[in-house]
Every structure is written in structure tokens, then in C-alpha cells.
């Protein structure tokens, strides 16, 4: 083999190594003075004088939850929905009540919306559970433990109609977290991937922007998942995903990975010790903070290709 061919092969190998290797570093830094606060769901505090009571009853083989909403004895509303447990949340359009079957997310929910005068606006069934209120929409999340229909729904709250629906087509996936920024929808999920001789649990980050869907692997672990938690945060420049994976073989993986916000280029990851399980993650500038079961960690993000990404990463 002549020198020219050797140089071409070497260049190709180096290019592959660069492409698949991390594009930066996470450098430990001071974690003092950071506050994670409460998760931002977009739901409102309900009026102080509003009372919502959910009472379960069974009629023959059917199960129901009766909701009673009241301000006082003169203003009262009722509705009965199929299910065994009931919850309610408040949004700008009114009071959203829903019933469901415990332990079976595939059954979805039966829901209704009352305005703040306690007039019934609509009721219907949804496949997912309410996750957040953002951009004047109720966002529902459905994790499908049996099929490939784990989805995110955007619902018009004044009518109950579905405006947009995004399904990722990942088999038996559990959606852990959803964050919406402008037209970008970031999703973390875990699923069990079956191979020829064995299986493994995979954690993935997805970016949905219109019809364009990108996905990048965060971490993997052997065995069937017993515990998966994948909190995420984005600041428009970076996306940080913390991961806790635990399988039926007593293996555990904990850590954090940082990606670019537009193309999901993996910059770097940092693995934590066993039982140092992430609870929350937060980005501030070029610092990623991770709240764990053993305290808060902080890392400065150093990108090896930062100058090239600054001009191109926002193109999605």
C-alpha cells in the first residue's frame, strides 16, 4: 500500500474518531448559591375559595369518580367520569378535572373542563396525562409500555381538541421529561432494546421541530429497566440531560450529558458514583448544575468546536 492510500485511510479513521468522540469537556466548578426551585408546569394555583371533591364509587363491574366543584352552597357543579382515582388542576381557562385507573397509564384519562363560573365547557377521553401548560396549550404525555405509541399531544384548552400530536415510534418507551422552547420540543425517554442474545436499557434525547425529528443516545445499561429518570434543561445554546438508570441485574448508572441545542451534538458527559442519583438539572450560561441524592454538582462546559458551532447550530 503506497503512502497516499495510507494517508487517506488514516485521515478517514481520524475523521471517524473525531465525529464519534465527545466534542468538549465538563470541568468541575463551584456549586454554591444555586437554587433549582419548583418545576415550571404552567399550571395556576386554584382560587382559595374553590373546593373540588373527588369521590370514587363502583356500580356493578364499572368504576367511577364523581367530582363536585363548589365555591359555596349557591354555586356548585358535578360530573361523573369513569375511573378509580381523580385529580384536578387549574389553568387560565378554568378547572380541569380528570379520572384514571391506577397503575395502567395505557388506559389514559377521562377529563372535563369547567370555567371559573363552574359552567361545563367540554368532556372527553385522552390517551395521555396532563404534563404542563405552555403557549396557551395543555400538553399531554402518553408513555406506552406495551406498544410503540409514546406521544406528546398539544390540546386547545377552550375546546378540548388536539392541535398537534407527535409520536416517536419507539417501542415500550417511557417518556421521562418534556421541555418546550418556542417551536422546539425536547423529550427524554428510556426504553428496553432487545438484541439477539440479550437486551439493554437505552436513554435517549429527542428534538422535535415541526416535521424534523432528531434523536441522540444519552446512556445505556444492561438488563431490563427497573428505574429510569432523565431530567433535562435547555438555555437555547445547550441541552443538559441528567440520567439515572437501574436494571434488574442490580446495575446502576448515574451522570449528566450536555448537547448543543440545535443539532444535538454531544459535547461531553460526566458519570457519577453509584447511589448518586440525579434529581434535577439546570443550565445557567455555560455552567450545568445537577441536583443529586448526595448534593449538588456543577460543571463548566468547554466546547472544543465552540467557534464553529456558534454560527451553525441554530440551523435545525
pLDDT tens digits along 259-278: 999 999 999 999 998 889 99
Cα–Cα nearest to 264, from 304, 208, 183: 208
* Burial of 223 per CB tally in 10 Å (0-12, 13-18, 19+): middle
SS (HEC) of the chain: CCHHHHHHHHHHHHHHHHHHCCCEEEEECCCCCCCCCCCCCCCECCCCCCEEEEEEEEECCEEEEEEEEEEECCEEEEEEEECCEEEEEEECCEEEEEEECCCCHHHCEEEEEECCCCCEEEEEEECCEEEEEECCEEEEEECCCCCCCCEEEEEECCCCEEEEEEECCCCCEEEEEEEEECCEEEEEEEEEEECCCCEEEEEEEEEEECCEEEEEEEEEEECCEEEEECCEEECCCEEEEEEEEEECCCCEEEEEEEEECCCCCEEEEEECCCCCCEEEEEEECCEEEEEECCEEEEEEEEECCHHHHHHHCCCC
Query: For residue 70, what pLDDT is reported?
Result: 97
Cα–Cα distance measured from residue 167 to residue 151, given in angstroms and rounded to the nearest whole number: 4
Q: Mean pLDDT highest for which of 5-19, 169-183, 190-204?
A: 169-183
Query: For residue 10, what pLDDT is reported?
Result: 47
pLDDT tens digits along 125-159: 999 999 999 999 999 999 987 788 899 999 999 99
Query: For residue 2, what pLDDT is reported?
Result: 65
What is the reported pTM? 0.87
Query: For residue 315, what pLDDT is reported?
Result: 44
* Burial of 231 per CB tally in 10 Å (0-12, 13-18, 19+): buried
* Burial of 247 per CB tally in 10 Å (0-12, 13-18, 19+): buried
* Segment 53-81 mean pLDDT: 95
Q: Which positions ≥6 away from 92 have C-beta within 8 Å?
A: 44, 133, 136, 157
- Kindly list the domain boundaries of the chain, sorted by start residue: 42-167
HSE-CB for 11 with a 13 A CA cutoff: 6
pLDDT tens digits along 290-309: 999 999 999 999 987 554 44
| Residue whose cell numbers read 454538582 | 297
How open is the CA angle 221-225-228, to the nearest 5 degrees?
85
Cα–Cα distance measured from residue 174 to residue 180, given in angstroms and rounded to the nearest whole number: 18
CB-based contact 116:95 (threshold 8 Å): yes
Cα–Cα distance measured from residue 279 to residue 163, given in angstroms and rounded to the nearest whole number: 32
pLDDT tens digits along 233-245: 999 999 999 999 9
Q: How confident is the model at residue 73 (pLDDT cuts 50, 70, 90)?
A: confident
CB-based contact 157:136 (threshold 8 Å): yes
Query: For residue 53, what pLDDT is reported?
Result: 98
HSE-CB for 268 with a 13 A CA cutoff: 18
Mean pLDDT of the chain: 89
| Greater pLDDT, 258 or 7 | 258
Cα–Cα nearest to 286, from 298, 306, 270, 300: 300
Backbone phi and psi for residue 60, each to the nearest 5 degrees, phi listed first: 60, -115
Query: For residue 37, what pLDDT is reported?
Result: 75
pLDDT tens digits along 8-50: 554 444 344 444 455 689 999 998 878 887 677 999 999 999 9
Amino acid at each position: 500500500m503506497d503512502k497516499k492510500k495510507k494517508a487517506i485511510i488514516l485521515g478517514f479513521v481520524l475523521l471517524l474518531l473525531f465525529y464519534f468522540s465527545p466534542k468538549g469537556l465538563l470541568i468541575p466548578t463551584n456549586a454554591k448559591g444555586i437554587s433549582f426551585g419548583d418545576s415550571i408546569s404552567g399550571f395556576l394555583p386554584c382560587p382559595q375559595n374553590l373546593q373540588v371533591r373527588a369521590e370514587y364509587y363502583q356500580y356493578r363491574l364499572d368504576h367511577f369518580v364523581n367530582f363536585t366543584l363548589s365555591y359555596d352552597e349557591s354555586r356548585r357543579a358535578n360530573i361523573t367520569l369513569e375511573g378509580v382515582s381523580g385529580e384536578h388542576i387549574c389553568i387560565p381557562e378554568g378547572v380541569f378535572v380528570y379520572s384514571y385507573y391506577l397503575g395502567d397509564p395505557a388506559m389514559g384519562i377521562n377529563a372535563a373542563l369547567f370555567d371559573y363560573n363552574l359552567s361545563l365547557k367540554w368532556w372527553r377521553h385522552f390517551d395521555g396525562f396532563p404534563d404542563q401548560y405552555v403557549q396557551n396549550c395543555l400538553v399531554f404525555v402518553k408513555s406506552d409500555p406495551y406498544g410503540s405509541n409514546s406521544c406528546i399531544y398539544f390540546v386547545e384548552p377552550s375546546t378540548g381538541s388536539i392541535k398537534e400530536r407527535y409520536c416517536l415510534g419507539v417501542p415500550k418507551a417511557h417518556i421521562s421529561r418534556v421541555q418546550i422552547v418556542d417551536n422546539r420540543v425536547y423529550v427524554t425517554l428510556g426504553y428496553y432494546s432487545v438484541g439477539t442474545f440479550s437486551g439493554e436499557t437505552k436513554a435517549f434525547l429527542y428534538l422535535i421541530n415541526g416535521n424534523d425529528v432528531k434523536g441522540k443516545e444519552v446512556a445505556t445499561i444492561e438488563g431490563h429497566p427497573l428505574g429510569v429518570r432523565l431530567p433535562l434543561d435547555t438555555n437555547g445554546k445547550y441541552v443538559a440531560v441528567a440520567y439515572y438508570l437501574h436494571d434488574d441485574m442490580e446495575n446502576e448508572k448515574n451522570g449528566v450529558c450536555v448537547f448543543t441545542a440545535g443539532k444535538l451534538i454531544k459535547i461531553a458527559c460526566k458519570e457519577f458514583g453509584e447511589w448518586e442519583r440525579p434529581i434535577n438539572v439546570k443550565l445557567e450560561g455555560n455552567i450545568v448544575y445537577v441536583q443529586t441524592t448526595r448534593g449538588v454538582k456543577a460543571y463548566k462546559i468547554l466546547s472544543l468546536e465552540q467557534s464553529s458551532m456558534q454560527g451553525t447550530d441554530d440551523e435545525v
